[in-house]
Amino acid sequence: MKATAFEFRFRFLIHFVIIVLGFTAPWDRWLHVDSSGPNAHVWGTLAAYVAMLKPGTIGIAAAFNVLLGVGIVCALAAAALRTWGSAYLGANVVKAHTFQGNGVVAAGPYRFVRNPLYLGTMIHVLALALLMPPSGAVFTIVAIVLFQVRLILGEEAFLTAKLGEPYLAYCARVPRLLPALMPRVAASQASAAWGSALLGEIYMWGVAIAFIAVGYRYNAFLITQGVVVSVGVSLVARALIPKTSVTQDGVTAVE
């Protein structure tokens, strides 16, 4: 079930294709599983359902606002978690085309969870799912989670083979995806490179800003446009990331 080197190399493209399929839901042309109209997305569908669930208690506008709040929280949490992880791992390692692992990173979020970047991506997808048609949202969440698990298993196999006992000891103490409430390993002396981390995760921050900036207009299409713009900005920002990677003390986790 672990990802191949090919899948890892093209993981960003695979993520992109999955998300595009989620937004377009091409299968709906034949299956007709989604409704039509300007609010035929998860945001509008869930808001209508919540409003009907308790009529007179929660209005449609309040339901929209609650779900918008959920989207904003997920988008911000994903951006913050991925930036935190990237700052300690190194933006060049995060964007690398091959499995990396010169040691075990025991700093920042890696003291609480082994895969903060993958966890951040999963949380991010929950925000995007609000903008998708229901069938597209279900497809995207399932496909992204399964792909993240495959990538994690691929990296774990690589790191186990390369680092051996130190990495196994780290895995025994730090949970894979559900963060511990307290640090599980002692902090290393690794320093954070916040500038390159912010550049590397500018797409995530762009999506969060889009939810915050135009969400009040209850228009999923406007937020989706912000997502598209964020993709373009991130491609430009990647060229500005310094080519030197952050030196780590001790052991590391990859992506």
pLDDT attached to residue 253: 42
Q: How many domains does the chain have?
A: 1
pTM of the entire structure? 0.92
Residue 93 lies in a domain: yes
Task: Give which of 70, 87, 40, 123 is closest to 200, Cα–Cα.
Answer: 87
Q: Which domain holds residue 131?
A: 5-238
Residue 252 lies in a domain: no
SS3 of 173, please?
helix
Whether the Cβ atoms of residue 144 and residue 128 lie closer than 8 Å to each other:
no
Residue 100 lies in a domain: yes
Residue 244 lies in a domain: no
CA dihedral 127, 224, 14, 18 (to 10 degrees): 70
Residue 253 lies in a domain: no
| pLDDT tens for the 255 residues of the chain, in order | 899 999 999 999 999 999 999 999 999 999 999 998 888 999 999 999 988 887 778 888 999 999 999 999 999 999 999 999 999 999 989 999 898 877 888 899 999 999 999 999 999 999 999 999 999 999 999 999 999 999 999 999 999 999 999 999 999 999 999 999 999 999 888 889 999 999 999 999 999 999 999 999 999 999 999 999 999 999 998 888 876 543 333 334 434
Residue 41 lies in a domain: yes
DSSP for 147-160, please give it. Answer: HHHHHHHHHHHHHH
Residue 37 lies in a domain: yes
Whether the Cβ atoms of residue 114 and residue 126 lie closer than 8 Å to each other:
no
Task: Give which of 212, 240, 241 is closest to 226, Cα–Cα.
Answer: 212
Residue 250 lies in a domain: no
pLDDT attached to residue 255: 42
